[in-house]
Amino acid sequence: MPRPVTAASLRGRLLALRFLSGWRRRFAAALAGALSALAMPPFGLWPVLALSFPLLVLLIDGCRGDLRARLAAAAGVGWWFGFGYFLASLWWIGAAFLVEADVFGWLLPFAVVAMPAGLALFTALGTAVARALWSRGALRLFALAFGLTCAEWLRGHVLTGFPWNTYGYAFSDSLVLMQGAALVGVWGLTFAAVLLLATPVLLLGPRRTGLAAVGAATLVLAGAAAWGSHRLATTPLATVPGVTLRVMQPDLPQDKKFAYDRRRQILADYLALSARPSPAYPRGLSDVSVLIWPESAFPFIYEREPWAAQDIAAALPENVTLVTGAIRYDQPPPGQRSPFFNAIRVMNARGEVLHSTDKVHLVPFGEYLPLQAELEALGIEQLTRVRGGFSSGSALAPLVIPGLPLAAPLVCYEIIFPGKVVPEGVRPGWLLNLTNDAWFGMTPGPYQHFAQARMRAVEEGLPLVRAANTGISAIVDPVGRIVAWLPLGREGVVDGPLPQPLETVSPTAKLGSLPLLVMLSTALGLALAPLCGCITRKG
């Protein structure tokens, strides 16, 4: 008869994971990373990190030998963990290469595998740093939190940055836990996720220590949830008087969105959809003050098609202002060569352009190529297939819309960069995000994109208005509550008021990186304490 599984035997089996070697060790690390992807939207199963992070700790525990061997082994564990995580959470990026499969389809396997492999280098760096600070007991969790958080921060900044799905977004599906972003930002939530959700590994050590650590972590999470609930309960929805918004989501497939030969029909469809009556606005556009269209709404250069202004003027009531994404053509700025800009444009009811801002943070390989001229000479194009790519705006600037507070204009993935969504100088009254997630179809990508945009609203204490060609279009208040929305893959409009910003600036918006620096400094000090004690005793 098989022996019954007891607590002691289970503990022994789990501790034996430290001694895995070869492909079994690599597979365990990759599996733990892939499991962690379930914590991200649209799944939001953040408790799975309480399984995957402890397994990562055990695998790092098993990195033995001299210092160089330990660091190399820990980096290997981290790379496989990161590769599994990014492969499982970012596979949907490959969908963009199928939009024009005859041109870009051959790149799909390279993109789906190469990108996770590259991003995993940051995880490898984080686990190597953690192993350098490693000690026994609970303090090694501070080393892990320090190493991985620093690595994730670097991932969000190096080579223009890509902070997508950093671990703090595990809490993005919980509105009460998301409120912590107002205190410490998503980087602070990343630190908290690693530190708190790795504590179950301590149950494999001294029982009293393990229970105390898990109990403390549970209390911290419960306290954060209680504070978040109180914050939500004491922050009523306040709206800007006299402002009625309509966000249009056309749900136009990517392979049809830029069909120049259908340009007149596309604009006609936009205008017809925008004019529909709704329960909120039974008179259609007559009840609307600001109409918002998504990124790159026109499959043409607006100034080159005079009929477009005439059609807009014929369709819009005099009281309506149109805000839309559009490709703008102009002289390239110094140091750049492309005359094309990914812009947000404000138009009056006569179709006249009142104000424009240009996208600053362009997507590598999507909107431009590193070494643009050289790669184009080899026949390689960015996904947008604009010859020469796009030029970027000089700096994020407020968008002026008649009758509304100043807006922070953010095109597509500009919204994913913590601390970089508000222009310098005058603080805006809201965040405006125009995007086109049709590149990625019905995959987790658009859900993850929306979750990150929503997190920015909580961090900054500013409402968010989001218009997607398809994706998730929504009006979100400054504490992350969804006022009105339209789900992925649905054609229609989102109607509602413009929420007001919070009266007091959130700690994250006010203090910037200071809370994160305090957390990292504390963790580093605690991780170094045993090493310093050892040095002192030897001295």
Q: Active-site residues: which are they?
A: 295, 359, 412
Q: Measure the CA angle with vertex 389, ends 385 and 393; round to 5°.
A: 135
Beta bridge partners, 115, equal none
User: Which string of DSSP letters, residue by residue, matches 327-356?
Assistant: EEE-PPPTT----EEEEEEEE-TTS-EEEE
Instruction: Round to whole Å and give the CA distance between 241 and 247.
Output: 18
- How does strand 464-468 pair with strand 407-411? unpaired
Taking a C-beta distance cutoff of 8 angstroms, is the pair 373, 424 a contact?
no
Number of neighbouring beta carbons within 10 Å of residue 69: 11
Instruction: Round to whole Å and give the CA distance between 501 and 480.
Output: 11
Taking a C-beta distance cutoff of 8 angstroms, is the pair 430, 499 a contact?
yes
Tell which residue, 15, 13, 86, has the closest CA to residue 54.
Answer: 15
The stretches of 42-180 forming alpha helices (DSSP H) are 49-61, 67-90, 101-104, 108-132, 139-155, 175-178
Tell which residue, 497, 483, 485, 383, has the closest CA to residue 439.
Answer: 383
Residues in the chain: 539
Instruction: Round to whole Å and give the CA distance between 300 and 259.
Output: 9
Tokens of 365: 């390989």
